[in-house]
Amino acid sequence: MIDGLTGALLHIFTPMPFLYVLIGTVAGIVVGAIPGLSGAMLIALTLPLTFYMEPVNAIVLLIGMYVGSITGGLITATLLRMPGTPSNVVTTFDGHPMAMAGRPGRALGLGIAASFMGGLVSWVVLLFLAKPLSIWATRFGPFEYFTLILMAMVLIASVSQGSMVKGLVAGFLGMLVSMPGVDPSAGQPRLTWDWYVLNGGLKLLPVLIGIFAVSQVIGDIVTIGKRMERVETRVSGMLMTVKDWRDQMWNMLRSSAIGTAVGILPGIGASIGSIMAYTTARNMSRRPEEYGKGSEEGIVASEAANNATIGGALIPLIAMGIPGSVIDAILIGALMIHSITPGPTLFITNSDVVWAMIAAALVANVVMYVVMMGSVRVVARIMYVPRTFMLPVILVFCVIGTFALDNTMFDVWVMLAFGVLGFAMEKGGFPLGPFVIGFVLAPLMEEKLRSGLMMTAGSIEPIFTRPLPLIFLLISILLLLLPAFRAWRVARSARRRLDARADGASS
Amino acid sequence: MVLNFTRSVALATAVLAGLSTAAHAEWPEKPIKVIVPFKAGGTSDQVVRAFQAAIQENDLLPQPLTVVNVGGHFSIGARQVMEAQPDGYTFLSLHIALMGGEGGGIFDFGYRDFEPVATTGEFCVLPVVRKDSGIDSVDELLQKAKDEPDTLLFGANLGAINHMGGILLQNLVDGAKFRFVQIGGGTANFTALTGNQTNASVLSAAEVANFTRNPDGTEIADTQIKPLAYTGAERVEGLPDVPTMQELGYDMTYCVQSWWFAPKGTPQEAIDGVADALQKATQTDRVKKFYDDKMFGPVFLRGEEMAASLDDTWARIEPVAKQAAQK
């Protein structure tokens, strides 16, 4: 193992492979940071270019893009409240308020450090535990997935800010718009009104870009004539101090572990990892009231977790040939073009490629940290660019990115329509986070539940008889009751104080 | 308003394009678009990209092929091609899913609504079970499906290739019935079998070889699955010890071919031009190596031969697709 790794690391530090990691990571960061363009798209578009490259160079380039794109998304999520990728949605909850409060440098610095840490933790797990963990992941049956997603779903209630009812309405609306398309469990179209373009359903990226980026653009256009009051912006506090590291270390490790575990499970992506880490951090926090208003812990939890899913998702890919994420599926395609088939024998047939992938994941993570930290000062100035210049550019990228995803104009109309919807929801006080979470999770949850019911001929018994589903179910119930319990305790202590005062007055 | 404007621009461009093709009859004068109605990275995409690279490397066409992936449901990309200008610059690459979808009533068009261009290569499948299942042959598998109908969990992507493969299998013995469970494609089914969540599925030859065989052809020690038979007409090179269904006395072949189509009304010279290039590409090292790696059979058909083969496949698959759509 040591030989393989050091060999691959030495190879990556020769000029050409290192150049490819650098190009890949920087390109990933830039594309990830542009709302509308996603890492999956960048990698898919780069695929043909890798035909004529050495397999190892091709793969380190693509891994660099993967790592860069997930991290790059945090820039716009923080500064503009437009998540660059689906996995950065949760980062907007606290990153944006902190940036608006005049501390964009601090917000970015925390996010970058957390991303680095998340990447590192999952990398260590990838290095040492790839085989046993990927075998463990195959045992995850439909009911395990169903209850796991149910747990994430219940978190909608706790991440929603403001009115609980409006949060739930937004969540259910998100679930509803995820329903049209060819039913994943029966292969038949539903809710498509015989309109064939709906056979593919409303896709994640157009909806996400519409609801977050386009709605923000519309909102900014509406207020563009008005003089914005500008907050004092400081880029200081970017580097974390020893005290910061000490304060955040436990949160970082826990969030990274959650992200890695979610990443290993095939088919559920980085967004679930960050939601789960965020809410866990909030429930264990001593200052839960700061969440959603610019909590440092919130940024750290979300970014550590979404970067940790990268290493996690590479585990089943390398150990079993099972892609852990959409991007991994494209990586498999890239390997196949070079006649390399990922699978249980990859270590035997192409150990140089495996070690190059593992080494590239580490090097790209370090490159990402250096590049991001070096450019934060410049990047944070996005806050100063007049909106009149920025909005058209963003909108153009949104249209290009959405079209390029699947080469259909329909997706662009969907994006614009959801931009209007997102704007209207904001105006009406309906939070966007629960909407997106409902939209992402409902189809997965439905598919897993129905697979499970097909297996058992309609019985839900395994939920109660298997250990993992039962644990997930109990945690879900607990999460549902926790806010109510907290409210009850607050009310009780208030009443006691009142009673005590009343007692004092009467005596 | 905006929509109207875009439409009229599109119309004007289309008319101009039509005029210009009429004026210069030299085909091809611009890059040729091949629509793959799936996301980048899957088998269908890899096939087209292998041919694209082979054609480009060997200058088999004066203009390059450009691959356009249209994701979402595959019917969307297929319909785009069906409704495209038949100017000789738009082609489609698809497989038996087209017939599965039409037969299952998911959409109301089919292979007859396209011009057949060429069939390039095919892969066949293998029924697989868990090693510790106590099932050692297709006979035993089907006997068990008959003795305990609707209990063996057969992982599939409902309505898709592996589902139809499972139905063809159970139809071989009267009364045999699997319980089909939505799992997904080959990799997902390998995962589900390994995790002991399902009992059977069908995988392609390349998947079986990848998941169960070492590079030297010996079996991987800790693999959990085993293939029972091969649905091709002859044994597949990489898995020489696996018998064919026909050897076992079952009248079943089930192979998935890569079909290239053009919109109805595409000029014959364009159809022939692309078919020629594809035919020559099958002789290049790149495509040969690709076929070897993916364990594809090197079938190549065009013109009347291809049309006849499509009709034949439709006659076999339509009832199966109907059966797959009933739940």
ipTM score here?
A: 0.76
Per-residue pLDDT, B22: 46
Question: Chain A 416-435, CB below 8 Å of chain B: which residues?
Answer: none
Per-residue pLDDT, B17: 47
Chain B residues with beta carbon closer than 8 angstroms to that of A344: 210-211, 220, 222-223
Residue B9 belongs to a domain: no
Q: How many residues does chain A have?
A: 507
Residue B105 belongs to a domain: yes
Of A182, A189, A406, the CB nearest to B70: A406
| Same domain for B131 and B82 | no
Residue B131's Cβ-count burial label (10 Å; 0-12, 13-18, 19+) is middle
**Please, what's the largest Cα pairwise distance for chain A?**
90
Residue A488 belongs to a domain: no
Per-residue pLDDT, A6: 86
Domain boundary among B177, B207, B227: B227
Residue B18 belongs to a domain: no
Contacts of B191 (CB under 8 A, 6+ apart): A137, A138, A266, A320, A322
Chain A residues with beta carbon closer than 8 angstroms to that of B195: 137-141
- CATH number for B176: 3.40.190.10
| Same domain for B160 and B83 | no
Amino acid at the residue B48: V
Residue A339 contacts B, CB cutoff 8 Å: yes
Residue A454 contacts B, CB cutoff 8 Å: yes
Residue A488's Cβ-count burial label (10 Å; 0-12, 13-18, 19+) is exposed
Contacts of A233 (CB under 8 A, 6+ apart): A102, A104, A380, A383, A384
| Same domain for B134 and B97 | no
Per-residue pLDDT, B41: 73
| Same domain for B274 and B222 | no
Q: Which residues of chain B have pLDDT under 50?
A: 1-3, 5-7, 9-24
Residue A443's domain spans which residues? 2-387+400-465
- Domain tally for chain B? 2
Question: Chain B 140-199, CB below 8 Å of chain A: which residues?
Answer: 150, 153, 157-160, 163, 179-183, 187-188, 190-192, 194-198
| Same domain for B219 and B131 | yes
- Domain tally for chain A? 1
Residue A338 belongs to a domain: yes
Per-residue pLDDT, A159: 60
**Least CA distance to A323: which residue of chain B?**
B187
Residue B23 belongs to a domain: no
Q: How far apart are CA A367 and CA A20, in angstroms?
A: 11
Q: Are B156 and B181 in contact (CB under 8 A)?
A: yes
Task: Give A378's DSSP letter.
Answer: H
Q: Which two tokens stand for residue A382?
A: 């996005």
Residue A490 belongs to a domain: no
Mapping DSSP to helix (H, G, I), strand (E, B) and coil, where does residue A323 land?
Answer: coil
Chain B residues with beta carbon closer than 8 angstroms to that of A406: 39, 69-72, 76
pTM: 0.80
Per-residue pLDDT, B19: 45
Residue B148's domain spans which residues? 127-227
Residue for token pair 């890899």: B46
Task: Give B248's DSSP letter.
Answer: T
Amino acid at the residue A49: L
Per-residue pLDDT, A87: 79
Q: Which two tokens stand for residue A435?
A: 């909407």
Residue B21 belongs to a domain: no
| Same domain for B218 and B133 | yes
Which of B33, B40, B18 lies closest to B63 in space, CA to CA?
B33
Residue B89 belongs to a domain: yes
Chain A residues with beta carbon closer than 8 angstroms to that of B50: 337
Which of A282, A249, A266, A302 lies closest to A437 in space, CA to CA?
A302
| Same domain for B207 and B275 | no
Which of A365, A423, A400 lies closest to A70 in space, CA to CA?
A365
Distance from CA of B40 to the nearest CA of A (A): 6
Q: How far is CA B85 from CA A55, A387, B33, B80, in A?
A: 38, 41, 12, 10
Domain boundary among B209, B227, B245: B227
Per-residue pLDDT, A73: 86
| Same domain for B111 and B134 | no
Task: Give A428's DSSP letter.
Answer: T
Q: How many CB atoms lie within 10 A of CB A151?
A: 23
Per-residue pLDDT, A240: 78
Distance from CA of B5 to the nearest CA of A (A): 15
Residue B213 contacts A, CB cutoff 8 Å: yes
Per-residue pLDDT, A128: 87
| Same domain for B295 and B151 | no
- CATH number for B319: 3.40.190.150
Report mean pLDDT in 10-residue bins for chain A, 507 residues. Answer: 80 87 92 79 78 84 91 87 81 90 88 94 89 78 87 68 78 91 78 83 84 86 66 65 87 94 76 85 85 91 92 83 74 75 72 86 93 82 75 87 82 94 91 82 87 90 91 86 76 82 62
Q: Are A65 and A25 in contact (CB under 8 A)?
A: yes
Residue A505 belongs to a domain: no
Per-residue pLDDT, B23: 43
